[in-house]
Amino acid sequence: AAQNRAKHLSQFLPHLHRFLGKQLERGTIRDYHIYIIEQSDDGRKFNRGKLLNIGFDLARKNKIRSALPHDVFIFHDVDLLPGDDLASSYTRFPTSPLHIARV
């Protein structure tokens, strides 16, 4: 499973940088940061909610040190690659939590 995550991550990061780079060029976003949060192999039961909370806390703490504020937080699994048809969902400011998925 860890090898699959590593393989997915090696595909995900370049894809997401290209995807978000297009949004920067279009001016639909000002900046972006990518945080990779994964659970250690400590034998504990997988807890996705805890991982998301830790990721949010780390990003929020980094926001204080960042020149531009973090306005939108998108939590993403590395085995799902966003397509251009979802770009508008990645560049708007939702008024409440939004689940982005392509079915």
Is the pLDDT at 1 greater than 70, yes or no? no
Whether 81 is in a domain gets the answer yes
Model confidence over 39-75: pLDDT tens digits? 877 888 888 899 999 998 988 887 766 666 667 888 8
Whether 97 is in a domain gets the answer no
Per the structure, how many domains does the chain have? Answer: 1
Whether 96 is in a domain gets the answer no
Whether 24 is in a domain gets the answer yes
Whether 77 is in a domain gets the answer yes
Is the pLDDT at 103 greater than 60, yes or no? no
Please, what is the average pLDDT of the chain? 85
Whether 7 is in a domain gets the answer yes
Residues of the domain holding 62: 2-91
| DSSP symbols for 60-86 | HHHHHHSSS---------TT-PPPGGG
Whether 100 is in a domain gets the answer no
Whether 10 is in a domain gets the answer yes
Torsion angle of the four alpha carbons 27, 29, 31, 32, in this order, in degrees rounded to the nearest 10: -140
pTM: 0.80
Q: Which two tokens stand for residue 26?
A: 């279009």
* % of the chain at pLDDT higher than 90: 34
Compute the distance between CA of residue 44 and CA of residue 86 in angstroms, rounded to an integer.
Answer: 34
